[in-house]
Amino acid sequence: MTKIYDTKPLTPEQVKVIKDSVPILEHMQVKLAEKFYKRLFKGHSEFREFFNTTNQKLLRQPRILIFTLIKFAKSIDNLDALQKDFDRIASKHVGLQVSPEQYPIFGKYLVHTIADLFPNDMVDEEFVEAWQSAYDILSGILIGLEAQQYKNKAWFGFKEFKVTKINRECVESKSFYIAPVDGAPIPKPKRGQYLCMRWQLPGEPYEISRVYSISEYPKGNEYRFTVRYIPGGKISTHIHSNLQVGDSVYVAPPCGDCFYESSSRDLVMLAGGNGITALISMIEAGLEEGRNVKLLFSNRSTDSRSFGSVLRDFKIKYGDKFQVTEFLSRGRAIEPIDQYYRRSLTIEDLDFITPKHDVYLIGPRAYMKMVDDYLHERNIKVKLDYFGPQEINI
């Protein structure tokens, strides 16, 4: 990967500039981030490919940017404390195939936006230089971490695959099997990882990125991903209405840091709707290793439940080692797998979970935040992925 930044430590004066910026950043909050993204997209529309428009409209992306910027500024004299944050950001960037050459463009707009929106009496040449130097340090850290991850990937960018098979999983979801056009062996993913895919829709001025969990551990030279139809969703509508066997799709290598880890501990899997796509191969691995696995599976009804037959086969094969509790918010239950309730999951349903369990959680954002917040209060660690900006309150 290209080396972009030769960085040097900040001077004490520059550290003070960054730390003195924190109260202003906290005051401006999302306003600064919104302004930044508007300027970036106006000057470089190709950057839109990396961002989900829904996350922009709902301010999730601006919120996580300003949250991260404030955290970075507060810790500018102790960046080692942010190692987990840097690792998470780098993992997301590699999933999206961010390149080092894009960092200077991003930084130019970010530093200019900060300088334009801060009070005039704070902004001078030293202020701009301090923020540019701080950004260079941040970029150097992330580029280095990403370079390490890219070394372990089978390819860079988006490789052409062909759709080989399509299965309907339920009334809302379809699974698509894809194989590389060049016939090269696919790298085996870690269970729970995802594929980032680029789509060029007719009439759209730029490509659109989406990530999809690998919903089956590869048994041949194919990946499987499963897509739920979302009314009004550009990509899910295109996939469900237009994608056919033989069509090409463009795919980045498997990525993601929410993946299965072997252990003898009992497993609790919490799946909300299509979140089961990320968990199904983890459930399989846990059962194959002889672990006790309990799945709490939330859907509107059994009509909208994916992989019912697979889960039922697991239940038949593994018996009491595999326990399923379904929560059906609209009540309709045809051929439930195991125990079920005609209601939504509540936090009281989680009281059996202890710090001795391994807990994995994937589902809609509000569902995950409710569960994660409650378990966090009880000192229970949860492995999860929002597959986009982290859900935060600022």
Q: Is-contact 30 71, C-beta < 8 A?
A: no
* Residue (of 342, 341, 337) closest to 322 by Cα position: 337
Q: What's the whole-number average pLDDT of the chain?
A: 93
Distances, alpha carbon 94 to alpha carbons 11, 63, 147, 194, 202, in Å: 31, 21, 9, 12, 27
Question: For 216-272, how does the pLDDT look when each residue is reduced to its tens digit (9 = 90+)?
Answer: 999 999 999 999 999 989 999 999 999 999 999 999 999 999 999 999 999 999 999
Q: Does domain 267-384 have CATH number 3.40.225.10?
A: no
What's phi and psi for 211, nearest 5 deg?
A: -110, 140
For residue 223, what pLDDT is reported?
A: 98
Q: Is-contact 192 282, C-beta < 8 A?
A: yes
Look-up of token digits 């950057």: 47
Residue of 5, 135, 146, 367 marked catalytic: 146
* Residue (of 118, 149, 138) closest to 65 by Cα position: 138
DSSP bridge pairs for 322: 293
Contacts of 42 (CB under 8 A, 6+ apart): none
Asked about 172 being catalytic, the answer comes back as no
**According to DSSP H, which parts of 221-352 are helical?**
234-242, 276-288, 308-318
Domain ranges of the chain: 12-151, 159-251, 267-384
Distances, alpha carbon 287 to alpha carbons 162, 225, 314, in Å: 32, 22, 8
CATH fold group of domain 159-251? Elongation Factor Tu (Ef-tu); domain 3 (2.40.30)
Residue of 37, 103, 177, 367 marked catalytic: 103
pTM exceeding the 0.75 threshold for the entire prediction: yes
- Which two structure tokens, joined as six digits, stand for 87? 């690792």
Sign of CA dihedral 59, 63, 66, 68: negative
More confident residue, 298 or 392: 298
Asked about 177 being catalytic, the answer comes back as no
Superfamily of segment(s) 12-151: Globins (1.10.490.10)
Question: For 153-183, how does the pLDDT look when each residue is reduced to its tens digit (9 = 90+)?
Answer: 999 999 999 999 999 999 999 999 999 999 9
Question: For 108-147, how does the pLDDT look when each residue is reduced to its tens digit (9 = 90+)?
Answer: 999 999 999 999 999 999 999 999 999 999 999 999 999 9
